[in-house]
Amino acid sequence: MTLFDAKELATGPRGPTSRVRLTVAYDGQPFHGFAINDGVRTVAGVLTHALTTYLGHPVELTCAGRTDRGVHARAQVVSFDAAAEGLDLGALQRAVSKMCGPSVVVTEAVVARADFDARFDATARRYRYLVLNRPVADPFLAPLTWHVEKPLDLPAMVLACDPLIGEHDFSAFCRRPKRRDGAEASLVRRVTAAEWHDDGAGLLRFEIEASSFCHQMVRSVVGTLVGIGLGRRRAGELTGIIRSRDRAAAGDLAPPHGLMLWLVRYGDWSSAPEA
């Protein structure tokens, strides 16, 4: 463990610094989302505290995607600057994982190029959502799946994915952010993949990849698709829902605990873990 004093904590790292990139996995249920939020426990909050404690100087984290309360990540990416002298990434990975685990662990720690930015350098994010579609729940899958008892029409849900592909205004599926300058934020996103898979025993897996996502977009999309699977809507209605740009036109939000940030893509690298 690095020793430090109050003065060092106040002034930050001394001398040359290295840009560090971490790949982080976490169980989102004990946390109020990723971003630091005073008064509540967040993933970035515990990570920042652990890194500051180990390195002996403050760190400012940048992440690839701010997950909401209760949402998990298998391969979140964060970047920050650390004092270069004596930097031992293996020791840092072990120490931070020990301090934050088992809810948060560092699966990879490397020195990145000096101008690497976990958020702005990312070219795509992929999310995975799990639905357990059978009459009886499974207590071992419950923390990671949305249990839907009634049978779902999977072919209809698959068909409804087609209109999602491409560049669209996803206002119907997003919570509109408030900007300090008063301007209206764009909710146009480019989706490159949206697909359902039947993994057997009633476990359905939805994967969606886009250049970026707006707030609650994936959960709203899943809630709408499950509504189609339950026969509450027809697959052909999805195009009209997108064009409406009306949040009230889409379905309810799917529960957060079924959602996981699966991987983040960069120009020459991906955070995808081994299967």
- Give tens-digit pLDDT for 224-266: 999 999 999 999 999 999 999 999 999 999 999 999 999 999 9
Cβ contact 64:34 at 8 Å: no
CATH architecture of 6-111: 2-Layer Sandwich (3.30)
Q: What percent of the chain has pLDDT over 70?
A: 92
What would the pLDDT profile of 132-174 be if each residue is shown by its tens digit? Answer: 999 999 999 999 999 999 999 999 999 999 999 999 999 999 9
Best CA proximity match to 107, nearest among 48, 18, 29, 21: 21
The reported pLDDT for the residue numbered 182 is 64
Residue of 5, 27, 38, 68 with catalytic role: 68
Planar angle of CA 246, 234, 218, nearest 5 degrees:
50
Sequence-ordered list of residues with C-beta below 8 angstroms from that of 29, at least 6 positions apart, any chain: 70, 72, 143, 257
Q: Dmax over Cα atoms in the chain, in whole Å? A: 63
Q: Is 33 left (phi over 0), alpha (psi -120 to 50) or beta?
A: left
Best CA proximity match to 208, nearest among 226, 217, 154: 217
The CA distance from 90 to 111, in Å, is 11
Q: Mean pLDDT of all residues in the chain? A: 93
The reported pLDDT for the residue numbered 185 is 84
Q: What is the DSSP string of 190-217?
A: EEEEEEEEE-STTEEEEEEEES---TTH
Confidence of residue 184 (pLDDT cuts 50, 70, 90): confident
Residue 2 confidence (pLDDT) above 50: no
The reported pLDDT for the residue numbered 11 is 59
Q: Which two tokens stand for residue 275?
A: 């299967």
Sequence-ordered list of residues with C-beta below 8 angstroms from that of 94, at least 6 positions apart, any chain: none
The CA distance from 171 to 125, in Å, is 19
81 carries an active-site annotation: no
Specify the higher pLDDT residue, 275 or 229. Answer: 229
The reported pLDDT for the residue numbered 40 is 97
> Tokens 């740009």 correspond to what residue?
245
- Residue spans of the domains in the chain: they are 6-111, 124-268
Specify the higher pLDDT residue, 108 or 14. Answer: 108
The reported pLDDT for the residue numbered 7 is 40
Confidence of residue 272 (pLDDT cuts 50, 70, 90): confident
What would the pLDDT profile of 39-51 be if each residue is shown by its tens digit? Answer: 999 999 999 999 9
> Tokens 């072990």 correspond to what residue?
94
Element (H, E) at 159: helix 154-159
- Domains 6-111 and 124-268 are alike in CATH topology: yes
Which CATH number describes the domain made up of 124-268?
Answer: 3.30.70.660
Give me the residues paired with residue 104 across strands: 26
3-state secondary structure at position 104? strand
The reported pLDDT for the residue numbered 175 is 80
Best CA proximity match to 175, nearest among 68, 32, 64: 68
Confidence of residue 3 (pLDDT cuts 50, 70, 90): very low
pTM beyond 0.85: yes
